[in-house]
Amino acid sequence: MHEMSLAEGVLQIVEDAARASGDDAFLRVKTVFIEIGQLSSVEPDSMRFCFDAVTRGTLAEGAKLEVIEVPGEGLCFNCNKTVPLAALYDPCPACGGYPVQPTGGTEMRVKELEVE
């Protein structure tokens, strides 16, 4: 389950943001907003579970992990169109051709923190 190491990375980003805030350091994180691409191979429910586990005893304990799902899209080399892509290595939904190079929906990133 690679979501555990990803959740640890998200916690590191939160802790780094707290340190970077200096004298005005926040004491608690209420919500962490993350974008997870449909093609990223990250399972949102597993990510939530792992986030809850790794944040115990930290300033993010009890924080809600709000997942913003980013749809997959790709560029078809056959018809040269940007098309929605449900899974990696799927054929182009417009022409049925291959290959389709993913251009969106492969990312996972921390978008925003809600803190007190």
Q: Which residues of the chain have pLDDT under 70?
A: 1, 23-24
Give how far Cα 29 sits from Cα of 26, 35, 63, 111, Å: 8, 17, 6, 14
| Residue listed under structure tokens 């926040």 | 26
- Supply the pLDDT for residue 26: 78
Exposure of 38 in the CB half-sphere (CA atoms within 13 A): 13
Q: What is the pLDDT of residues 17-48, one digit of tens each?
A: 988 887 667 789 999 999 999 999 999 999 99
Q: Which domains are delineated in the chain? A: 3-71+105-115 (3.30.2320.50)
